[in-house]
Amino acid sequence: MNPTCDRRPTSWVEGADGSEFPIQNLPWGVFSTEDGPARVGVRIGDFVLDVAALARDGLLAPASVFEQPSLNAFIALGRPAWSGARASLSALLRAGAAPRPEALIPIAQVKMHLPIRVEGFTDFYSSREHATNVGRMFRPDGDALTPNWLHIPIGYNGRASTVVVSGTPVKRPLGQLKPAHLDAPLFAACRRLDFELEMGVIVGAESAMGVGLTVAQADQAIFGYALLNDWSARDIQHWEYQPLGPFQAKAFATTLSPWVVTQEALEPFRVAGPAQDPAPLPYLRQPQAMNFDVALEASLRPRGASEATTISRTNFNGMYWSSAQQLAHHASSGCAMRVGDLLGSGTISGAAPGSFGSLLELTWGGKQPLTLANGPTRAFLEDGDTLTLTGRASREGITIGFGVCEGEILPAREVPV
């Protein structure tokens, strides 16, 4: 086992042991303080380790990549550099090492930024349970899954320009709607606003145009994972999605959590995904287990409410198409992949109703509203609602946390006349 993942080491950082950010985690992010620019840091317990400051002291190299307002320059150094930096930080933070308290900043004193400069964003549709639920709603008299679904990771190209960091408010979108009782569409505020519980995959290696990647190469090209909410305007989507799929219904906002958990930290949680039948074409076949055992939750808190209600509990381990397969398929046509590309896993749903990863499923298209704590109900999101995603992987007393991915819904702007 990689020594940075060993469950035995402890840290000199107070409160790190037993937290969701122990020495075995060390996720990367970008932060700033009142007296300094945005720069690279690592989460340990309730502190941010100022990696840029350590690099200036000669403890990590090259120092310039850690002074950046994104992780892209560091990620571009490649897997040996990722592992080397992780090993160096693990050694510095381990119990018995000389403490460096001056490099720690309490998490309450920092502002977190989008961790990567998103070069491109692609969202997938890779949970069989989610796709089946949606198919049953949209095609009640036909097959739940389309004929291609079991052969190919379905995806669409989203908008990198509206990927925002957790905590950024999301304005309710405007768009064309076509209610059933009207003969023509209207331009209005979305009435069926939804979330999608996903994992974001951070691509860490370039692939040249016209070349492609094997599944094994794609697995090694993944830098890490973060929580992702691909907000969805279901009524806009219903009117626009045929024949080319989602467009404005998904273009208005995607929220990414600020901490990127490295794939190296997740290695102890690697598991096999569901059996794939029929067997994928050779270019999509997996040489080893490619899924990860990460428990996920979504909670909803109306404005002014004293508590949030957990509305979904699910797990990343059940995805039919793995992230490595998604990346390999993305590059298979010869599409060039870049450092900082972001892949959305697609909505993560389990088999039980309480494990569905969207309100579309949880309320079955709005027909079965949820009752929240203290009585309010929701079919879809209302203005003032805050939706929060959390995730954690646990094994042998060690928990690897992902932090939170959160956004509050603001009212739509005025419809232009």
Does a structural domain hold residue 416? no
Please give the tally of structural domains in the chain.
2
Task: Tell whether 285 and 180 lie within a shared domain.
Answer: yes
Q: Range of 37's domain?
A: 3-113
Task: Tell whether 333 and 249 lie within a shared domain.
Answer: yes
Predicted confidence at residue 396, as pLDDT, reads: 92
Task: Tell whether 88 and 143 lie within a shared domain.
Answer: no
Dist CA 253 CA 235 (whole Å) = 16
Q: Closest Cα partner for 75 from 340, 283, 314?
A: 340
Question: What is the Cα 151 distance to its own chain's centre?
Answer: 24
Task: Tell whether 80 and 127 lie within a shared domain.
Answer: no
pLDDT digits (tens, 9 = 90+) for 151-172: 999 999 999 999 999 999 999 9
CATH value at residue 175: 3.90.850.10
Dist CA 295 CA 325 (whole Å) = 21
- pLDDT surpassing 70 at residue 1: no
Other CB atoms within 10 Å distance of the CB of residue 255: 26
| Cis? peptide before 3, omega within 30° of 0 | no
Task: Tell whether 56 and 163 lie within a shared domain.
Answer: no
Of 113, 130, 151, 238, which is the active-site residue?
130
CATH value at residue 101: 2.30.30.230
Predicted confidence at residue 14, as pLDDT, reads: 97
Q: What phi, psi does 392 have (nearest 5°)?
A: -160, 145
CA distances from 319 to 158, 257, 290 (A): 20, 20, 10
Task: Tell whether 101 and 163 lie within a shared domain.
Answer: no
CB 68 within 8 A of CB 74: yes
Task: Tell whether 76 and 159 lie within a shared domain.
Answer: no
Structure tokens given for 240: 């626009």
Residues, the chain: 417
pLDDT digits (tens, 9 = 90+) for 167-192: 999 999 999 999 999 999 999 999 99
pLDDT digits (tens, 9 = 90+) for 288-300: 999 999 999 999 9
Q: What phi, psi does 332 have (nearest 5°)?
A: -65, -30
Residue 329 is a catalytic residue? no
| Cis? peptide before 62, omega within 30° of 0 | yes
Task: Identify the domain boundary among 113, 141, 173.
Answer: 113
Does a structural domain hold residue 93? yes
User: SS3 for 174?
Assistant: strand
Does a structural domain hold residue 415? no
Does a structural domain hold residue 328? yes
Q: Kindly report the average pLDDT of the chain as a whole number.
A: 97
Task: Tell whether 98 and 148 lie within a shared domain.
Answer: no
Task: Tell whether 46 and 131 lie within a shared domain.
Answer: no
